[in-house]
Amino acid sequence: MFLIAKEEEIKKGLTTDIYFKRTEEILLKKNINKIVWAEFTTQSIPYEFVVFAGLEECAKLLEGKEIDLWAIKEGTIFKGVDINGIPVPVMAIEGNYVNFAIYETPLLGFICQASGITTKATRFRIASRDAILLSFGIRRMHPAISPFIDYFAYMGGCDGVSSIKGAEVINKNPRGTMPHSLIILLGEENAWLSFDEIIDKDVPRIALIDTYGDEKVTAIKAAEILKNLSGVRLDTPSSRRGDFAKIVREVRWELDIRGYKDVKIFVSGGLDEDTIPLLYEAGARGFGVGTSLSNAKTIDYAMDIVEVEGKPCAKKGKFGGKKKVFRCKNCLELLVLKYDEEIKECPLCKGEMENFYFKIIEKGKIIYKFPDID
Protein backbone atom coordinates (compact mmCIF):
# COMPACT_ATOMS: atom_id res chain seq x y z
CA MET A 1 0.00 0.00 0.00
CA PHE A 2 1.11 3.55 -0.70
CA LEU A 3 1.73 5.94 2.19
CA ILE A 4 -1.48 7.91 1.69
CA ALA A 5 -4.60 8.48 3.76
CA LYS A 6 -7.91 7.26 2.38
CA GLU A 7 -10.88 9.64 2.22
CA GLU A 8 -12.65 7.80 5.02
CA GLU A 9 -9.54 8.10 7.19
CA ILE A 10 -9.47 11.87 6.66
CA LYS A 11 -13.16 12.06 7.57
CA LYS A 12 -12.53 10.00 10.70
CA GLY A 13 -9.95 12.55 11.81
CA LEU A 14 -6.96 10.25 11.44
CA THR A 15 -4.93 12.95 9.66
CA THR A 16 -5.29 15.43 12.49
CA ASP A 17 -2.76 16.40 15.15
CA ILE A 18 -3.15 14.22 18.23
CA TYR A 19 -3.81 17.12 20.61
CA PHE A 20 -7.11 17.83 18.85
CA LYS A 21 -8.18 14.21 19.38
CA ARG A 22 -7.22 14.45 23.05
CA THR A 23 -9.15 17.71 23.36
CA GLU A 24 -12.21 16.01 21.85
CA GLU A 25 -11.85 13.14 24.34
CA ILE A 26 -11.70 15.52 27.31
CA LEU A 27 -14.69 17.55 26.15
CA LEU A 28 -16.78 14.43 25.63
CA LYS A 29 -15.86 12.96 29.02
CA LYS A 30 -16.59 16.27 30.78
CA ASN A 31 -19.80 16.72 28.77
CA ILE A 32 -18.73 20.20 27.64
CA ASN A 33 -20.82 21.39 24.69
CA LYS A 34 -20.00 25.01 24.03
CA ILE A 35 -21.03 26.85 20.87
CA VAL A 36 -18.06 28.66 19.37
CA TRP A 37 -17.27 30.87 16.40
CA ALA A 38 -13.91 29.84 14.90
CA GLU A 39 -12.27 31.86 12.13
CA PHE A 40 -9.62 31.10 9.52
CA THR A 41 -7.28 34.02 8.87
CA THR A 42 -3.75 34.76 7.73
CA GLN A 43 -1.59 37.57 9.04
CA SER A 44 1.46 36.81 6.91
CA ILE A 45 1.33 36.38 3.14
CA PRO A 46 4.29 35.74 0.80
CA TYR A 47 3.05 38.10 -1.92
CA GLU A 48 1.14 41.36 -2.20
CA PHE A 49 -2.11 39.42 -2.72
CA VAL A 50 -3.56 35.97 -2.12
CA VAL A 51 -6.25 34.00 -3.95
CA PHE A 52 -8.49 32.13 -1.52
CA ALA A 53 -9.06 28.52 -2.58
CA GLY A 54 -9.93 25.12 -1.13
CA LEU A 55 -13.39 26.05 0.17
CA GLU A 56 -15.30 23.30 -1.63
CA GLU A 57 -12.93 20.66 -0.26
CA CYS A 58 -13.61 21.99 3.25
CA ALA A 59 -17.35 21.87 2.66
CA LYS A 60 -17.13 18.22 1.62
CA LEU A 61 -15.22 17.38 4.80
CA LEU A 62 -17.67 19.19 7.09
CA GLU A 63 -20.84 18.00 5.35
CA GLY A 64 -23.02 16.07 7.77
CA LYS A 65 -21.50 17.69 10.86
CA GLU A 66 -23.83 19.71 13.08
CA ILE A 67 -22.20 23.06 12.27
CA ASP A 68 -22.65 26.15 10.12
CA LEU A 69 -19.91 27.26 7.73
CA TRP A 70 -19.45 30.80 6.40
CA ALA A 71 -16.89 31.98 3.87
CA ILE A 72 -15.89 34.51 1.27
CA LYS A 73 -16.13 33.26 -2.32
CA GLU A 74 -13.53 30.79 -3.52
CA GLY A 75 -11.25 32.56 -5.99
CA THR A 76 -11.43 35.89 -4.17
CA ILE A 77 -8.26 37.97 -4.41
CA PHE A 78 -7.40 39.71 -1.14
CA LYS A 79 -4.43 41.16 0.74
CA GLY A 80 -4.64 39.14 3.93
CA VAL A 81 -6.08 42.08 5.84
CA ASP A 82 -8.89 44.52 5.10
CA ILE A 83 -8.59 48.27 4.49
CA ASN A 84 -8.19 48.84 8.25
CA GLY A 85 -5.55 46.17 8.74
CA ILE A 86 -7.96 43.63 10.27
CA PRO A 87 -7.25 40.03 9.20
CA VAL A 88 -9.92 38.82 6.77
CA PRO A 89 -11.71 35.70 8.06
CA VAL A 90 -11.86 33.70 4.83
CA MET A 91 -13.94 31.05 6.59
CA ALA A 92 -15.74 30.69 9.90
CA ILE A 93 -17.33 27.72 11.62
CA GLU A 94 -20.14 28.11 14.15
CA GLY A 95 -21.20 25.19 16.28
CA ASN A 96 -20.36 22.91 19.16
CA TYR A 97 -16.57 22.77 19.13
CA VAL A 98 -16.51 19.06 19.83
CA ASN A 99 -18.27 18.49 16.49
CA PHE A 100 -15.35 19.82 14.44
CA ALA A 101 -12.28 19.96 16.69
CA ILE A 102 -10.53 17.08 14.94
CA TYR A 103 -10.87 18.70 11.51
CA GLU A 104 -8.74 21.79 12.08
CA THR A 105 -5.62 20.14 10.65
CA PRO A 106 -7.11 18.84 7.37
CA LEU A 107 -9.18 22.00 6.87
CA LEU A 108 -6.04 24.11 7.10
CA GLY A 109 -4.24 21.69 4.81
CA PHE A 110 -6.92 22.14 2.16
CA ILE A 111 -6.94 25.93 2.11
CA CYS A 112 -3.23 26.52 2.80
CA GLN A 113 -2.03 24.44 -0.14
CA ALA A 114 -4.92 25.20 -2.50
CA SER A 115 -4.55 28.95 -1.95
CA GLY A 116 -0.79 28.71 -2.45
CA ILE A 117 -1.10 26.91 -5.79
CA THR A 118 -3.94 29.11 -7.03
CA THR A 119 -2.12 32.29 -6.03
CA LYS A 120 1.06 31.19 -7.78
CA ALA A 121 -0.88 30.23 -10.92
CA THR A 122 -2.51 33.66 -10.94
CA ARG A 123 0.90 35.30 -10.73
CA PHE A 124 2.09 33.14 -13.62
CA ARG A 125 -1.02 34.10 -15.56
CA ILE A 126 -0.22 37.79 -15.13
CA ALA A 127 3.43 37.26 -16.08
CA SER A 128 2.62 35.25 -19.21
CA ARG A 129 0.04 37.73 -20.51
CA ASP A 130 -1.81 36.21 -23.49
CA ALA A 131 0.51 33.22 -23.91
CA ILE A 132 -0.57 29.62 -23.34
CA LEU A 133 0.10 28.60 -19.74
CA LEU A 134 0.18 24.91 -18.79
CA SER A 135 0.63 23.13 -15.47
CA PHE A 136 3.52 20.65 -15.81
CA GLY A 137 4.48 20.24 -12.16
CA ILE A 138 2.83 17.05 -10.91
CA ARG A 139 6.03 14.98 -11.27
CA ARG A 140 7.56 16.96 -8.41
CA MET A 141 4.82 16.07 -5.91
CA HIS A 142 3.08 12.97 -4.53
CA PRO A 143 0.97 11.41 -7.31
CA ALA A 144 -2.04 11.05 -5.03
CA ILE A 145 -2.54 14.82 -5.03
CA SER A 146 -1.98 15.41 -8.75
CA PRO A 147 -5.71 16.15 -9.34
CA PHE A 148 -5.64 18.62 -6.44
CA ILE A 149 -2.58 20.41 -7.85
CA ASP A 150 -3.93 20.61 -11.38
CA TYR A 151 -7.42 21.66 -10.29
CA PHE A 152 -6.15 24.67 -8.39
CA ALA A 153 -3.54 25.50 -11.03
CA TYR A 154 -6.41 25.71 -13.51
CA MET A 155 -8.49 27.77 -11.09
CA GLY A 156 -5.61 30.23 -10.80
CA GLY A 157 -5.31 30.79 -14.53
CA CYS A 158 -3.53 27.91 -16.28
CA ASP A 159 -5.02 27.13 -19.67
CA GLY A 160 -4.53 23.42 -19.23
CA VAL A 161 -2.86 20.66 -17.24
CA SER A 162 -0.65 17.73 -18.14
CA SER A 163 -2.00 14.95 -15.93
CA ILE A 164 -4.72 12.61 -17.14
CA LYS A 165 -6.58 12.59 -13.81
CA GLY A 166 -6.08 16.32 -13.29
CA ALA A 167 -7.62 17.04 -16.68
CA GLU A 168 -10.53 14.75 -15.84
CA VAL A 169 -11.48 16.70 -12.72
CA ILE A 170 -11.60 19.98 -14.68
CA ASN A 171 -13.43 18.30 -17.56
CA LYS A 172 -10.72 19.11 -20.10
CA ASN A 173 -8.33 17.17 -22.30
CA PRO A 174 -4.81 16.80 -20.88
CA ARG A 175 -2.23 19.03 -22.57
CA GLY A 176 1.38 18.31 -23.41
CA THR A 177 3.95 17.88 -26.17
CA MET A 178 6.43 14.99 -26.42
CA PRO A 179 9.15 13.80 -24.01
CA HIS A 180 12.86 13.49 -24.65
CA SER A 181 12.48 9.71 -24.29
CA LEU A 182 10.51 9.57 -27.56
CA ILE A 183 13.30 11.45 -29.36
CA ILE A 184 15.97 9.20 -27.84
CA LEU A 185 14.16 5.98 -28.78
CA LEU A 186 13.08 6.91 -32.31
CA GLY A 187 15.46 9.63 -33.34
CA GLU A 188 14.43 13.23 -33.83
CA GLU A 189 12.76 13.21 -37.26
CA ASN A 190 11.22 9.76 -36.83
CA ALA A 191 9.77 10.80 -33.46
CA TRP A 192 8.13 13.90 -34.93
CA LEU A 193 6.73 11.99 -37.91
CA SER A 194 5.52 9.08 -35.76
CA PHE A 195 3.76 11.50 -33.42
CA ASP A 196 2.08 13.11 -36.41
CA GLU A 197 1.13 9.72 -37.86
CA ILE A 198 -0.30 8.10 -34.73
CA ILE A 199 -1.57 10.73 -32.31
CA ASP A 200 -5.09 12.13 -32.72
CA LYS A 201 -5.20 15.04 -35.16
CA ASP A 202 -6.89 17.24 -32.55
CA VAL A 203 -3.64 17.25 -30.55
CA PRO A 204 -1.38 20.14 -31.64
CA ARG A 205 1.91 19.09 -33.24
CA ILE A 206 4.59 20.63 -31.04
CA ALA A 207 8.07 19.33 -31.76
CA LEU A 208 10.68 19.03 -29.02
CA ILE A 209 13.83 20.54 -30.53
CA ASP A 210 16.61 20.55 -27.93
CA THR A 211 17.47 16.91 -27.24
CA TYR A 212 20.75 16.83 -29.15
CA GLY A 213 21.22 19.61 -31.68
CA ASP A 214 21.24 23.37 -31.95
CA GLU A 215 17.79 24.79 -31.21
CA LYS A 216 17.75 27.12 -34.21
CA VAL A 217 18.77 24.48 -36.73
CA THR A 218 16.39 21.90 -35.27
CA ALA A 219 13.46 24.33 -35.20
CA ILE A 220 13.93 25.07 -38.90
CA LYS A 221 14.15 21.35 -39.67
CA ALA A 222 10.94 20.61 -37.73
CA ALA A 223 9.07 23.37 -39.56
CA GLU A 224 10.23 22.01 -42.92
CA ILE A 225 9.33 18.39 -42.13
CA LEU A 226 5.96 18.85 -40.39
CA LYS A 227 3.62 20.86 -42.59
CA ASN A 228 1.02 21.13 -39.81
CA LEU A 229 3.50 22.09 -37.09
CA SER A 230 1.86 24.15 -34.33
CA GLY A 231 4.95 24.92 -32.35
CA VAL A 232 8.38 23.94 -31.11
CA ARG A 233 9.33 23.35 -27.48
CA LEU A 234 12.59 24.28 -25.83
CA ASP A 235 13.40 22.53 -22.57
CA THR A 236 17.12 23.25 -22.69
CA PRO A 237 18.87 22.34 -19.40
CA SER A 238 20.32 25.24 -17.45
CA SER A 239 23.86 23.93 -17.95
CA ARG A 240 23.50 24.38 -21.72
CA ARG A 241 21.16 27.29 -22.16
CA GLY A 242 23.24 30.37 -21.31
CA ASP A 243 20.88 33.27 -21.92
CA PHE A 244 17.62 31.42 -22.59
CA ALA A 245 15.83 34.53 -23.84
CA LYS A 246 18.53 35.08 -26.47
CA ILE A 247 18.09 31.52 -27.73
CA VAL A 248 14.32 32.02 -27.96
CA ARG A 249 14.77 35.33 -29.77
CA GLU A 250 17.15 33.73 -32.27
CA VAL A 251 14.80 30.81 -32.97
CA ARG A 252 11.88 33.22 -33.41
CA TRP A 253 13.84 35.28 -35.94
CA GLU A 254 14.97 32.29 -37.99
CA LEU A 255 11.45 30.85 -38.15
CA ASP A 256 9.94 34.21 -39.09
CA ILE A 257 12.31 34.98 -41.97
CA ARG A 258 11.47 31.58 -43.48
CA GLY A 259 7.75 32.21 -43.36
CA TYR A 260 6.96 30.18 -40.23
CA LYS A 261 5.46 33.00 -38.21
CA ASP A 262 2.53 30.80 -37.13
CA VAL A 263 4.84 28.29 -35.46
CA LYS A 264 4.74 29.13 -31.74
CA ILE A 265 7.65 28.77 -29.37
CA PHE A 266 6.93 26.89 -26.14
CA VAL A 267 9.38 26.81 -23.25
CA SER A 268 9.57 24.74 -20.08
CA GLY A 269 12.05 23.82 -17.39
CA GLY A 270 12.89 25.89 -14.32
CA LEU A 271 10.50 28.72 -15.12
CA ASP A 272 9.32 31.25 -12.57
CA GLU A 273 7.38 34.48 -12.69
CA ASP A 274 10.54 36.58 -13.02
CA THR A 275 11.84 34.65 -16.07
CA ILE A 276 8.59 34.40 -18.02
CA PRO A 277 8.32 38.11 -18.98
CA LEU A 278 11.83 38.02 -20.47
CA LEU A 279 10.99 34.93 -22.50
CA TYR A 280 7.69 36.43 -23.61
CA GLU A 281 9.46 39.54 -24.87
CA ALA A 282 11.86 37.28 -26.76
CA GLY A 283 8.98 35.59 -28.57
CA ALA A 284 7.82 32.65 -26.45
CA ARG A 285 4.06 32.17 -26.54
CA GLY A 286 3.67 29.05 -24.47
CA PHE A 287 4.92 28.21 -20.98
CA GLY A 288 4.95 24.90 -19.14
CA VAL A 289 5.43 25.68 -15.46
CA GLY A 290 6.45 22.92 -13.09
CA THR A 291 8.05 22.82 -9.67
CA SER A 292 7.56 26.49 -8.85
CA LEU A 293 3.81 25.96 -9.30
CA SER A 294 3.19 22.52 -7.80
CA ASN A 295 5.53 23.31 -4.91
CA ALA A 296 4.21 26.85 -4.45
CA LYS A 297 4.52 28.49 -1.04
CA THR A 298 1.55 27.62 1.12
CA ILE A 299 -0.56 30.40 2.59
CA ASP A 300 -0.16 30.46 6.35
CA TYR A 301 -3.77 30.35 7.55
CA ALA A 302 -4.67 29.56 11.14
CA MET A 303 -7.95 28.65 12.81
CA ASP A 304 -8.82 30.41 16.06
CA ILE A 305 -11.82 30.42 18.36
CA VAL A 306 -12.81 34.07 18.72
CA GLU A 307 -16.20 33.73 20.44
CA VAL A 308 -17.60 31.24 22.98
CA GLU A 309 -21.32 31.14 23.81
CA GLY A 310 -21.81 34.59 22.30
CA LYS A 311 -18.95 36.25 24.18
CA PRO A 312 -15.79 37.57 22.45
CA CYS A 313 -12.85 35.37 23.34
CA ALA A 314 -9.57 35.29 21.41
CA LYS A 315 -5.98 34.54 22.31
CA LYS A 316 -3.44 37.35 22.14
CA GLY A 317 -2.56 38.42 18.63
CA LYS A 318 -6.06 37.62 17.35
CA PHE A 319 -9.19 39.74 16.97
CA GLY A 320 -12.11 38.59 19.10
CA GLY A 321 -15.79 38.38 18.28
CA LYS A 322 -18.03 37.13 15.50
CA LYS A 323 -17.46 39.00 12.23
CA LYS A 324 -18.53 39.23 8.62
CA VAL A 325 -16.93 40.57 5.46
CA PHE A 326 -18.11 43.27 3.07
CA ARG A 327 -16.70 44.05 -0.37
CA CYS A 328 -16.89 47.21 -2.44
CA LYS A 329 -18.48 46.55 -5.84
CA ASN A 330 -16.32 49.28 -7.35
CA CYS A 331 -12.77 49.01 -5.95
CA LEU A 332 -13.20 45.40 -4.68
CA GLU A 333 -11.55 46.18 -1.34
CA LEU A 334 -12.69 44.13 1.66
CA LEU A 335 -13.91 45.41 5.01
CA VAL A 336 -14.30 43.32 8.17
CA LEU A 337 -17.04 44.36 10.61
CA LYS A 338 -18.68 43.02 13.74
CA TYR A 339 -21.32 40.49 12.74
CA ASP A 340 -24.24 42.76 13.62
CA GLU A 341 -22.86 45.82 11.79
CA GLU A 342 -23.79 46.96 8.29
CA ILE A 343 -22.25 49.38 5.79
CA LYS A 344 -23.54 50.68 2.47
CA GLU A 345 -20.80 53.02 1.23
CA CYS A 346 -17.13 52.21 0.68
CA PRO A 347 -14.93 54.35 2.96
CA LEU A 348 -12.31 54.55 0.20
CA CYS A 349 -14.10 55.21 -3.10
CA LYS A 350 -17.72 55.77 -1.96
CA GLY A 351 -18.82 52.78 -4.05
CA GLU A 352 -21.59 50.42 -3.01
CA MET A 353 -20.65 47.82 -0.40
CA GLU A 354 -22.08 44.29 -0.48
CA ASN A 355 -22.20 41.57 2.15
CA PHE A 356 -19.46 39.20 0.98
CA TYR A 357 -19.85 36.49 3.63
CA PHE A 358 -21.82 33.54 2.37
CA LYS A 359 -23.39 30.69 4.29
CA ILE A 360 -21.94 27.49 2.85
CA ILE A 361 -23.25 24.88 5.29
CA GLU A 362 -26.31 25.10 7.53
CA LYS A 363 -26.65 22.47 10.25
CA GLY A 364 -24.46 20.09 8.31
CA LYS A 365 -26.13 20.54 4.92
CA ILE A 366 -24.34 22.26 2.04
CA ILE A 367 -26.71 25.03 0.91
CA TYR A 368 -24.31 27.01 -1.27
CA LYS A 369 -24.15 26.17 -4.97
CA PHE A 370 -20.52 26.07 -5.99
CA PRO A 371 -19.98 27.38 -9.53
CA ASP A 372 -18.28 25.31 -12.21
CA ILE A 373 -14.54 25.89 -12.29
CA ASP A 374 -14.85 27.66 -15.65
**Phi, psi dihedrals of residue 227, rounded to the nearest 5°:** -70, -20
Question: What is the pLDDT, as a whole number, of residue 240?
Answer: 64
- Per DSSP, 362 falls in state E
Q: Do both 329 and 306 map to the same domain? A: yes
Q: Do both 152 and 88 map to the same domain? A: no
Q: Do both 349 and 240 map to the same domain? A: no
- Among the candidates 271, 294, 317, a domain finishes at 294
222 backbone φψ class: left, alpha, beta (φ>0; ψ -120 to 50):
alpha
**Phi, psi dihedrals of residue 256, rounded to the nearest 5°:** -60, -45
Q: Do both 105 and 208 map to the same domain? A: no
| C-alpha to C-alpha distances, 166 to 80, 134, 170, 199, nearest whole angstrom | 29, 12, 7, 20
Torsion, Cα 78 82 85 86, to 10 degrees, reads -110
Q: Do both 52 and 199 map to the same domain? A: no
Question: What is the pLDDT, as a whole number, of residue 239?
Answer: 59
Q: Do both 281 and 139 map to the same domain? A: yes
Q: Do both 178 and 260 map to the same domain? A: yes
Q: Do both 178 and 203 map to the same domain? A: yes
pLDDT in tens, the chain (374 residues): 899 999 999 999 999 999 999 999 999 999 999 999 999 999 999 999 999 999 999 999 999 999 999 999 999 999 999 999 999 999 999 999 999 999 999 999 999 999 999 999 999 999 999 999 999 999 999 999 999 999 999 999 999 999 999 999 999 999 999 999 999 999 999 999 999 999 999 999 999 999 999 999 999 999 999 999 999 999 966 656 679 999 999 999 999 999 999 999 999 999 999 999 999 999 999 999 999 999 999 999 999 999 999 999 999 999 999 999 999 999 999 999 999 999 999 999 999 999 999 999 999 999 999 999 98
- Domain with 41, as residue range(s), is 7-114+298-366
120 in any annotated domain:
no
Count how many domains the chain has. 2
- Among the candidates 277, 294, 311, a domain finishes at 294
Q: Do both 153 and 262 map to the same domain? A: yes
Question: What is the pLDDT, as a whole number, of residue 237?
Answer: 64
82 in any annotated domain:
yes
- Residue 347 sits in a domain of what CATH number? 3.20.140.10
- Residue 266 sits in a domain of what CATH number? 3.20.20.70
Q: Do both 201 and 61 map to the same domain? A: no
Strands in 311-312's sheet, in edge-to-edge order, are: 311-312, 302-308, 35-41, 91-96, 67-71, 358-362, 365-366
Torsion, Cα 134 140 145 151, to 10 degrees, reads -10
289 in any annotated domain:
yes
Identity of the amino acid at 357: Y
At what angle are helices 104-128 and 146-156 packed, to 10 degrees? 50
Question: What is the pLDDT, as a whole number, of residue 236?
Answer: 67
Instruction: Give strand ranges (E) for the chain.
Output: 35-41, 50-51, 67-71, 77-78, 91-96, 132-135, 160-161, 205-208, 229-234, 264-268, 286-289, 302-308, 311-312, 323-328, 334-338, 353-355, 358-362, 365-366
250 in any annotated domain:
yes
1 in any annotated domain:
no
- Among the candidates 258, 275, 294, a domain finishes at 294
76 in any annotated domain:
yes
Q: Do both 314 and 288 map to the same domain? A: no
60 in any annotated domain:
yes
Question: What is the pLDDT, as a whole number, of residue 152?
Answer: 99
372 in any annotated domain:
no
Q: Do both 105 and 162 map to the same domain? A: no
